[in-house]
Amino acid sequence: MNAGLIAQNTFREATRDRMLSGVMIAGLVILIATQVMSPLALGEGLRLTIDLGLSAISMLGLLVVLLVGSSLVAKEIDRRTIFNLLSRPITRPAYLVGKWAGLAGALWVVTAGLGAGLWLVLLSRGNADHTASILQATYLAGLELSVVTACAVLFSSLSTPVLSALYTLGLYLVGQWSYDLRSFAGHVPAPLSTLLGTAANLAPNLPLFNMRTLAAAGELTTPWHLAVATAYAAVYVACVLCLASAAFESRDFK
Amino acid sequence: MSVAARARARALGVRERMAIAWAMGLVLGAAACGLAGYAARALPPPRPLEELSYYPSGAHLEPATLGHAETAADLAWLRAIQYYGEHRLADNQFARMGHVFDILTSLAPRFEAAYEFGAFALAQEGRDFPRAERLMLKGIAANPGSARLAFQLGFLYYVQPGGRQLRRAAEYFQQAARLPGAPPQAARFAAYARQHSGDLVVAYSLWEDVRNHSQNHYLREIAQKEMEKIRRALETGRREMAVRKLPTPVVLLK
Amino acid sequence: MQSPGVRSAERHGIDRPAGTASDSNRDLAISARGLSKFYRSPWTLKVTRGLEDLNLEVARGAVLGYLGPNGAGKTTTLKLLTGLLKPTRGEAWLMGIPIASPESRRRLGFLPEQPYFYDYLNGREYLKMAGQLSGLASHEADTLARHWLGRVGLGERPDLNLRKYSKGMLQRLGLASALVHDPELLILDEPMSGLDPLGRRDVRELILEQHERGVTVMFSSHILPDVEMLCDRVAIVLDGRLSRIADVGELVHDGRQRVEVQCSGVTVIEIPPAWSTTVTRREHGSDTVFVVEQEHLLNDVLAWLLRSGVRVRAVSPQRASLEELFLSAAESSEERRSA
């Protein structure tokens, strides 16, 4: 229940922050821009719209995670507003879970909003047949952002906002390359291959949430893929929040 | 038991709570690694890495797009069209066009329009048929089920400036005709190309297919006529009755 | 809505010997045994003492003043008790519940020093959230939030964004957030900080009101008159150790009391020779303060001042004993440190 209250409060903070409305506006501007650029694409305007639209959701969401998520806990410690919370009967894990849930919730709202905007643009072009693939791609983008938000909460509870943003970005990059790392690990000798394999496992497996290629062609992914992606996101987020709780438990607030 | 008694009974020290959080984190982490490994094996990304190794420049670019290869490809597509248009109106020199389309199709191997446009532009305005051929073959390797690309490669051979390659053209028209979503003209193009490449026996059976399966009675009549021509040519030994030397295609750029 | 009920108004000022049985912790609002906090620098590995071996018992319903100079360990103690710092060793209980358990803070109201709040909330939203986090239901929290906002003088504009609050308003809001859920124990770190005299008066009244209701209060302060006025007992912490603890009541009957008379409009006025050793003067801004060393002279001095046409603005008894207690404790600590 306390985690829910913290989540509600964090959601309120995120949605009252001008950043989120700025991001929504930026996303809508990008969608409009795709329609302006469409005639230049020699008949591939649909592809352009879907690709840029879905990329905008991911990139703008990542921007929010880096700017807001990385200071989520660090800012509270810095400004000492955390004293008012942790001196109440709330456990530290509940606090972290609440922080994650609040920001992830706000990001789902942004994802859904921009996804709906993309869908409306496609409808206006007469491409209603892409609804299902857009829905799937948007859902996976939301899962991806939830995973990256958990990483941001972990770093934010241990470090300053700037360092936390850098660590989160670093982990995001390694996560995007995780399939490449696995592949390289298979072609290099022993100690390096172990290192690469470990990095690929530790970093979030972000390509799992990427179906932009399929969506561009209007194709759907399998329900099994969606199920595996959902399960992976849930397990990874839980793992990261447990580790954050372990580290946060002994933290002193001077 | 009162609240106080319950709290006293279950009060865990900081160390115990940390240990529990670490243990849960490790278990969940192991589960996440397992799921990630499974996903990497069973749900590979839409683009297998080994096919990209044929084009190292494109392969190196893809990781830099951080999962947004399709969008980067779209932006490269817009650029490629601009490049083509500018040089078509100016100097008809397309020195970089091969490289641009190579990058583009490495980023988005399923972008069929890019192969098509690129190959024909390279073959005709670019006067670089070998490169055009390589581009189309790359497209077919990445999209083995694409009837469109197979047909277009056949057509590329058919209109090859300086000398058609009718046998190759026929081969790809036939391949296209066998694939789902084949253009309706693929079968008769295959028959036509076989016939005029001198391969009368195969051409005869291809025309027979057209006659037996075409919905268009006009096409069935044409097929019947060509079959009779081929039969007479084979019976009399006068191949010139069925085989015609087709004019050599040239590219005229004004 | 649960109306704040009136609890028993007993004042407990009896010094208890430190018990060993954990059951006795239930009868105490605050109990600490060997509570210590040391900091080790990760670079130099040097160990700094924040607090060492605190043994303290505060009975339910008592008001304890926690004194000490800056850096003595007052805030460290309060943060250890409220779970913001983890003890290096030792134990403590709040109302019988170990501080390691979040349940120990359910009936606690804590006001940190110079509280900060969320910019994006208004007063009502913040208090409601605070109440809910301490276990109140949503509707009840909302009602109590409005009540306490009014009670601390912020009720005029409940929807004013906290970003626009002044320092004094933030302090009042902090107090309200400590009280919104009707706690049994109040721990306040410098509750008068940042308040004007009217604000300080209001806080004193609030503390007294809570005390009348049987709430235990522990607060740290630099302002000795406030401590002396409000507290049953006073603890002095110096250099991370509890130096002295005494009932204020023991000091009340100390004969030597100084009184300060603050006046304005003093022009040329000479202290009568008879009072040359017992009455001194000092300038205090545009006012003059006459310090009367012996209380029994007060009436005569006042009469003389009024005859002289001076305007008397304030008469403040100075419990020299509390200040002396504090100063002598501080001096002996200095001696120990330099020895």
Residue of C97, C104, C107, C184 to mutate, interface with B, max B Cβ within 10 Å: C97
Once rounded to an integer, what is the mean pLDDT over residues A209-224?
88
- Which positions in chain A touch C82 (Cβ < 8 Å)? 87
What is the number of alpha carbons within 13 Å of residue B237 lying toward its C-beta? 0
- The 3-state secondary structure of chain C reads CCCCCCCCCCCCCCCCCCCCCHHHHHHEEEEEEEEEEEEECCCCCCEEEEEEEEEEEEECCCEEEEECCCCCCHHHHHHHHCCCCCCCEEEEEECCEECCCHHHHCCEEEECCCCCCCCCCEHHHHHHHHHHHCCCCHHHHHHHHHHHHHHCCCCCCCCCEHHHCCHHHHHHHHHHHHHCCCCCEEEEECCCCCCCHHHHHHHHHHHHHHHHCCCEEEEEECCHHHHHHHCCEEEEEECCEEEEEEEHHHHHCCCCCEEEEEEECCCCCCCCHHHCCCEEEEEECCEEEEEECCHHHHHHHHHHHHHCCCEEEEEEEECHHHHHHHHHHHHHHHHHHHC
- pLDDT value of position C11: 33
- Distance between B49 CA and the closest CA of chain A, angstroms: 8
- pLDDT value of position C19: 39
Find residues 112-171 of chain A whose CB sits inside 8 Å of chain B. Answer: none
Query: What pLDDT digit, counting tens, does each position of B192-244 carry?
Result: 888 888 888 888 988 998 899 888 888 889 889 999 999 999 899 888 888 88
Start-to-end CA distance of chain A, whole Å, equals: 27
Task: Name the DSSP letter for residue B198.
Answer: T
Contact B189, B158 (CB under 8 A): yes
- Distance between A219 CA and the closest CA of chain C, angstroms: 43
Query: What pLDDT digit, counting tens, does each position of C279-309 carry?
Result: 988 888 888 999 988 888 889 999 999 988 8
**A225 in B contact zone (CB under 8 Å):** yes
How far is Cα of residue B180 from the mean position of the Cα atoms in its chain?
Answer: 14
Contact C113, C84 (CB under 8 A): no
Q: Which of A9, A80, A87 is opposite residue C129, by nearest beta carbon?
A: A9
Burial C11-35 (b: 16+ CB within 10 A, else e): ebbeeeeeeeeeebbbebbbbbbeb
- Count of positions (residues) in chain C: 339
How far is Cα of residue C245 from the mean position of the Cα atoms in its chain?
Answer: 15
Q: Are strands C287-292 and C258-264 parallel, antiparallel or unpaired?
A: antiparallel
- Which positions in chain C touch A159 (Cβ < 8 Å)? none
Q: Which of A16, A83, A89 is opposite residue C102, by nearest beta carbon?
A: A89
Alpha-carbon gap, residue C17 to C14, rounded angstroms: 10
**A21 in C contact zone (CB under 8 Å):** no
H or E stretch at A67: helix A45-67
- Which positions in chain C touch A12 (Cβ < 8 Å)? 120-121, 125
Alpha-carbon gap, residue C127 to C129, rounded angstroms: 5
Portion of chain A with pLDDT greater than 90, in percent = 62
Contact B119, B156 (CB under 8 A): yes
**B11 in A contact zone (CB under 8 Å):** no
- Which positions in chain A touch B108 (Cβ < 8 Å)? 213, 216
Once rounded to an integer, what is the mean pLDDT over residues A56-77?
92
pLDDT band at C17 (very low <50, low <70, confident <90, very high): very low
Q: Which of C83, C115, C129 is opposite residue A86, by nearest beta carbon?
A: C83
Rounded to 10°, the helix A92-124/A45-67 angle is 160
- Which positions in chain B touch C96 (Cβ < 8 Å)? 4, 8
Q: Left if phi > 0, otherwise alpha if psi is -120 to 50, otherwise beta: which for B32?
A: alpha
- Distance between C279 CA and the closest CA of chain B, angstroms: 56
Nearest residue on chain C to B13, judged by CA atoms? C100
Alpha-carbon gap, residue C105 to A90, rounded angstroms: 8
- pLDDT value of position B7: 64
- Which positions in chain A touch B117 (Cβ < 8 Å)? 42
- Distance between C22 CA and the closest CA of chain B, angstroms: 10
- pLDDT value of position B31: 94
**A9 in C contact zone (CB under 8 Å):** yes
Query: What pLDDT digit, counting tens, does each position of C145-196 carry?
Result: 999 999 988 888 888 889 899 888 888 899 999 999 999 999 999 998 878 8
Angle (nearest 5°) at CA A235 between A231 and A239: 170
- Cβ-based neighbours of C72, under 8 Å, separated by 6 or more: C237, C238, C239, C240
Contact C248, C234 (CB under 8 A): yes
Nearest residue on chain A to B78, judged by CA atoms? A41
- Cβ-based neighbours of A78, under 8 Å, separated by 6 or more: A161
Q: Which of A5, A81, A250 is opposite residue C132, by nearest beta carbon?
A: A5
**Token pair belonging to C289:** 């303060």
Q: Is C164 exposed, middle or buried (0-12, 13-18, 19+ CB in 10 A)?
A: exposed
Nearest residue on chain C to B11, judged by CA atoms? C101
Q: Which of C84, C118, C132 is opposite residue A87, by nearest beta carbon?
A: C84
Find residues 37-56 of chain A whose CB sits inside 8 Å of chain B. Answer: 37, 40-44, 47-48, 51-52, 54-55
- pLDDT value of position A94: 95
Q: CA C235 → CA C24, C36, C63, C219, C322, distances in Å?
A: 21, 16, 11, 10, 11
Portion of chain C with pLDDT greater than 70, in percent = 86
Say yes or no for a CB contact (<8 Å) between B11 and C101: yes
**B142 in A contact zone (CB under 8 Å):** no
Once rounded to an integer, what is the mean pLDDT over residues B42-70?
59
Other beta carbons less than 10 A from residue B26's beta carbon: 14
Residue C8 has pLDDT above 50, yes or no: no
- Which positions in chain C touch B8 (Cβ < 8 Å)? 22, 96-98, 101
Contact A172, A62 (CB under 8 A): yes
Across-strand partners of C58?
C30
Say yes or no for a CB contact (<8 Å) between B7 and C104: yes
pLDDT band at B89 (very low <50, low <70, confident <90, very high): confident
Weakest mean pLDDT among A59-63, A148-152, C272-276: C272-276
